[in-house]
Structure 1
Amino acid sequence: MTTFATTSNSAARRAITILGAGHIGFAMALLLQQSGDYDILVADRDPARLAEVAALGVSTRLTVDDASLQAAIDGRFAVLNALPFHRAVPVATLCASAGVHYFDLTEDVASTQAIRALAANARSVLMPQCGLAPGFIGIVGNDLARRFDTLHTLRMRVGALPRYPQGALRYNLTWSTEGLINEYCNPCEAIVDGVRTTVPALEGLETFALDGVEYEAFNTSGGLGTLTETLAGKARQVDYQSIRYPGHNAILKLLLNDLRLRDRRDLLKDILETAIPTTDQDVIVVFATASGLKGGRLVQDSYSAHIVGTEVAGHRLSAIQLTTAAGICTALDLVAQGRLPQQGFVGQEAVALGDFLANRFGSAYAREGELVH
């Protein structure tokens, strides 16, 4: 069982709001409630979901319109947004206006760019993309990049996978279906031959083995966060791919391209949610590798992790719940402790990997992660 102890240098009882009481919102509330350092309000449109969260002993509020949403934001230290990606910009706008710190989990590139523009004159922190990918993988990638005198390539791979895959897709739904489709359909940022560009989703298929297990990986959107901006002019190749079990990519191309379901995303969402079961028996696979020059020698460094779910205060959290919630809770903690900037846009690269892994929430990654030279 995992515990998240109170830290002596954390400000007492910061008032925060979590928007969204789904699986990830529940996990965020649980982790923060266990720390004892935050006065938590969880807001959602669904009374049944709020009832589950209220059983943790945290406050809840039904948000049925813009006025009730605004009331859940005003006067808080921070808002953690666990709503669907299309709600990111509206909520960030309200937080910027209210001077409230804002954190989210969005993988949507356009939303992040809009939030960055909002942050230009913000009195508070606006920090999107605080989950696993984007989020933790960008922190790992930036840490690897900084180890080189000259960086040649940086390749980041992440998968949220079923531990016991079934069917031709060998996949189960473990998080937002809307977010998953977004990643499979939208252009993917990359650095190719030293130039920032975009590459098509589902392309760049590769296969590899990690700890004796065969995987495939291919381009998906949003996983790099702002890392291509940070490394522009400093690397030849930078890319991000999602990890799946072999055969997944071919079926996706059939659905999205041959059957043209990329143009009918609502139908695709219905098909996936009807045909593919959810699971909390999942595993997070993280693999990042970088190569370049150190002291005139060509070398390679890699980071890998396998993370499974755990029990927190009698509640079972899946691997994707644990890692996603741990990422955003760590970002909040570091801002609250004054270890990150206190206003404006904050990218994941501002977080040092050592600080993240040493954090009480980020330690969920530290138990399984490994830097390999």
Structure 2
Amino acid sequence: MKIALLGAGHIGQTIARLLSGAGDYQVTVIDRSEAALRRLDARAVEVRQADTENDLALAAVLRGHDAVINALPYHCAIRVATQAREAGCHYFDLTEDVAATRAIKALAQGAPVAFMPQCGLAPGFIGIVAHHLTRGFDEVHDVKMRVGALPAFPTNSLKYNLTWSVDGLINEYCHPCEAIRDGERTELLPLEGLEHFALDGVEYEAFNTSGGLGTLCETLAGRVRSLDYKSVRYPGHCALMKILLEELELRHDQETLKQILRRSVPTTMQDVVLVFVTVSGLKHGALVQEVFARKIFAERNGERSLSAIQITTAAGVCAAVDLFRQGKLPARGFIRQEQIELDDFLANRFGQAYQQLRHVESIS
């Protein structure tokens, strides 16, 4: 299968290595940055420098490929999906942006190829887990989805290090959050709904952020009483972000905020990803709660060290592409993450990244 992979950042590099090493994929990595492309192993993948924000350039590099994986910033999603349809390529991405996903769903109507956005961790794997758990209930009451990509060793006042895209981070902090309340679909404010909990002896906070539910609000409409998604951080982070975004009004000057974060908040490869889903409802007349919880840690292995967010995000999209290639997903049209069976995902050679890591047992 010939793959056009757009984006040679940390996530793109990991996707390229996984797919090229699998033996079933011929990968061409495309980026506007020559420096980023030089970091790739030219013996394993082809590289092409191109302006990924130019429609004509995109059309030229996508032709002749079976599928495109878009690992560019979220604001490129609609452009790339449009050109993928024109080129006759199946489309996969990692976007958390709600508006982009709605536009891609419209593009998928009547298309001869498949469109599967939101193939990362959240949205992505978290939705597969939540949907799987709901299917075991006769009547579903509440679905709570919590995900955090956190530094293993927080040292600053924000108790945060940059582990992924700053663009994506600010996007999810600034846009309305889909949810279901009392059986009705609604929108919640970002950075609201603050709660505290502990896992494995560590204290956390969680609050509303945009995009993590993927398409679950639509899929579970009429079947659940409440459904929501929150990002997990260490205690105190939410209050400081509210100062920046609301009191200092940087919500209206996001480019300045991004510059501040890139300049002042270090990146880290020593991170941990927390996945925590609870579903409650009735089984055989009894009120029951089911929990799925994992902590996934960075891999420190000399020159090939991987952060936890690289592992989980790349595993998500690679497993989706692999299951599609195997015929376990529809061949055309819009594909939701929750159409993937959890057992198929965890048994997949890429999805096994979530299986091989330590479960969290203690929950309070």
- Residue 142 of structure 1 corresponds to 131
Matched, 1:18 2:24: no
Q: Which moved more, 1:51-60 or 1:247-256?
A: 51-60
What amino acid maps onto 2:193 in structure 1? G
Q: Tell me, in whole angstroms, the C-alpha distance in 1 between the residues paired with 2:64 and 2:354.
A: 32
Q: Kindly, what percent of the aligned residue pairs are identical?
A: 57
1:297 aligns with 2:268: no
- 1:70, CA displacement in angstroms? 1.4
Aligned to 1:73: 62
**Aligned equivalents of 1:313 and 1:72: distance in 2?**
34
Partner SS, residue 317 of structure 1: coil
> Contact (CA 8 Å) 1:301, 1:371: kept in 2 or not?
no
Query: Match for 2:332 among 326, 335, 343?
Result: 343
Report the aligned-residue RMSD. Answer: 1.5
**Partner deviation per Cα, 1:198-229 (whole Å, 9 max, x = no partner):** 00000000000001000000000000000000
Q: What's the secondary structure of 2:39's corresponding residue?
A: helix
Q: 1:237 and 2:203 equivalent?
A: no
Conserved 8 A contact 1:62-1:68 = no
Amino acid corresponding to residue 189 of structure 1 in structure 2: E
CA contact (8 A) 1:88 1:104 kept: yes
**Separation in 2 of the partners of 1:122 and 1:366?**
35
**Count of residue correspondences:** 360
TM-aligned CA distance change 1:196 to 1:204, over 3 Å:
same
Correspondences of 1:354-373 after superposition (within 5 Å): 354-368=343-357, 370=359
Matches within 5 A, 1:63-142: 63-64=50-51, 65-142=54-131
Inter-partner Cα distance in structure 2 for 1:67 and 1:200? 38
1:43 to 4, 15, 30: 30
Does residue 303 of structure 2 align to residue 318 of structure 1? no
AA matched with 1:53? L
The whole-number CA distance in structure 2 between the counterparts of 1:313 and 1:16 is 28
Structure 2, unmatched stretches of 5+, are none
Query: Tell me, what secondary structure is at the counterpart of 1:310?
Result: coil
Residue equivalent to 2:215 = 226
Kindly indicate whether the alpha-carbon contact (under 8 Å) linking 2:59 and 2:86 is maintained by their aligned counterparts in 1: no
How far apart, CA to CA, are the structure 2 residues paired with 1:67 and 1:75?
15
Instruction: Return 233-242 or 46-55, whichever deviates more.
Output: 46-55
TM-superposed deviation, 1:311: 6.0
How much has 1:37 moved relative to structure 2?
1.2
In the TM superposition, what is the alpha-carbon distance from 1:71 to its structure 2 partner? 2.1
Give the letter aligned to residue 363 of structure 1: Q
Task: Sort the Cα spacing of 1:159 and 1:18 in 2 relative to 1 into closer, same or farther, 3 A.
Answer: same
> Counterpart of 1:330 in structure 2: which amino acid?
A
Runs of 4+ residues deviating >6 angstroms? none
State how far apart, in whole Å, the 1-side matches of 2:158 and 2:300 are: 28
CA contact (8 A) 1:307 1:368 kept: yes
| In structure 1, C-alpha distance between the alignment counterparts of 2:166 and 2:303, rounded to whole Å | 27
Give the structure-1-normalised TM-score. 0.94
Shift of 1:108: 0.3
Query: Are 2:259 and 1:274 aligned?
Result: no
Q: Which residue of structure 2 lines up, in the alignment, with residue 212 of structure 1?
A: 201
Gaps of 5+ in 1: 1-13
CA deviation digits over 1:113-157, x for unaligned, max 9? 000000001111100000000000000110111111000000000
